[in-house]
Amino acid sequence: MPHENTPAASVLAQADQRFHLHSQTNLRRHQQQGPMVIERGDGIHVIDEHGQRYIEGMSGLWCASLGFSNRRLADAAQRQFDVLPYYHTFNHRVPAVTARLAERIATLAPLPDARVFFACSGSEANDSMIKMAWAWHRARGNTHKRKIIAHQKGFHGSTVMGATLSGLPNMHAAFGLRLDQVIHVECPHYYRNGLPGESEAAFCERLVADLQRRIEAEGADTIAAFISEPVMGAGGVIVPPSGYFSAVQALLARYDILMLADEIICGFGRTGQWFGHQTMGFAPDMMACAKSLSAGYQPISCTVVSGPVYRVLEEQSQQLNGFGHGFTYSGHPVAAAVALETLSIYQELDIPARTRQLGEVLHGELAPLFDHPLVGEIRGIGLVAGLELVADKSSRRSFSAQVAIGAQVELAARKHGLIVRNMGDSIALAPPFIIEPTQLRELVSRLTDALNDVNHATGHCS
């Protein structure tokens, strides 16, 4: 377990504060408190520069699904570096390994006659998916279909389009992002948004009816697509009600609106199926994948396009003499080699079955925390979970923002040798797929200790 006293800022930490502009960070606070410098990884653990060891309960950022020291992935990268360290996919060219990876992904994906477009990040994959939705409608003569429907509390990336799609106001304010082409609808979170006395089924029906009214008010002829994460990760690990997505999909089909799945977090096994949309019961027209695609070992993402959408894009590219989209590093051969080896390991381990089994252990171990004074809801599916912290369990009253209870629990967990992530007052868990049941029990034990520490320190009672 780490020492209680944080060591003085190291030379590395000081250099970071002086020169590094951090992602998704309070920059002023960072100058005051400095970084946690991670030096190496080993299995499910990471080790900081002081030698303190932590269970990485979030797989880094949902992505280090095979842990931090997989020799096969490192060797796959080295072999590809030796053979072909870079090539591109423009103008009829492709690295051999990239063609093999496209075939593997298309074979795994349940989309009919799938095609695969590569990029480097989830944000780029979502941006690409939106551009393809626009192109698909334009090619069919629907030039006014430009608006995209997304959820409040959804997260779709940090590029201009990805951040605009995201229903997280803190990502909009500093940049003055234009929201006129993005329509945000109610987050399908029954615990927070269900009305008094409303059943989960009635909540689902109300949200779908509200969506229909919004489509008709905006004009269906102006709406290109609806995008959602199957499980909404950065919004707090929100699992929509059973039947929600199938009802939404049926509604969208009536109005010629494409259904897009953001599988950045859920894809490649996290929810107990290969893809989150399979777990949640819908069939998208396109999906964006990243994170677990390479187990985080290389930056790579993809947009998987169904055959019916691809055929329209193909015809359009013939008319325009090209598909006018792509990136220098699309299908980068080293990233593709690592991703291909990652998928081989997943298939050998039967990762969907493994995450279902481990998910039962995780949620079983978490269940007693329903009685903890700080915990209002525990949610999740497969090997992903979220705990919502509340000031009053019976009324579901939240803590004031000034208390920052989620940040307190995250820091307390670190003192017990566990890294979790707080999104406001929701605590997320998404451990590596290689974690063992005994390690899951230790993870939950450390989280429980952290919750108890914060409960004691704040003098809170339910």
Per-residue confidence (pLDDT) for residue 2, from 0 to 100 = 42
Per-residue confidence (pLDDT) for residue 458, from 0 to 100 = 86
CA–CA distances in Å: residue 443 to residues 25, 48, 55, 415: 25, 18, 7, 13
Q: How far apart are CA 454 and CA 76, in angstroms?
A: 44
Residues 71-127: pLDDT tens digits? 999 999 999 999 999 999 999 999 999 999 999 999 999 999 999 999 999 999 999
Per-residue confidence (pLDDT) for residue 4, from 0 to 100 = 42
Amino acid at 334: V
> What is the reported pTM?
0.95
Per-residue confidence (pLDDT) for residue 5, from 0 to 100 = 43
pLDDT at 462 over 80: no
Greatest CA separation found in the chain?
69
Element containing residue 396 per DSSP (H, E)? none
Per-residue confidence (pLDDT) for residue 141, from 0 to 100 = 97
Q: State mean pLDDT over 282-306.
A: 98
Residues 4-24: pLDDT tens digits? 444 556 999 999 999 999 999
Element containing residue 54 per DSSP (H, E)? strand 53-56
Q: How far apart are CA 376 and CA 192, in angstroms?
A: 10
Q: State mean pLDDT over 41-66.
A: 98
421-423 vs 426-429, strand pairing mode: antiparallel
- Structural domains of the chain, with CATH: 11-69+351-458 (3.90.1150.10), 71-349 (3.40.640.10)
pLDDT at 231 over 80: yes
CA–CA distances in Å: residue 30 to residues 12, 153, 269, 427: 14, 25, 34, 21
Six-digit token string for 419: 């890294």
Residues 184-222: pLDDT tens digits? 999 999 999 999 999 999 999 999 999 999 999 999 999
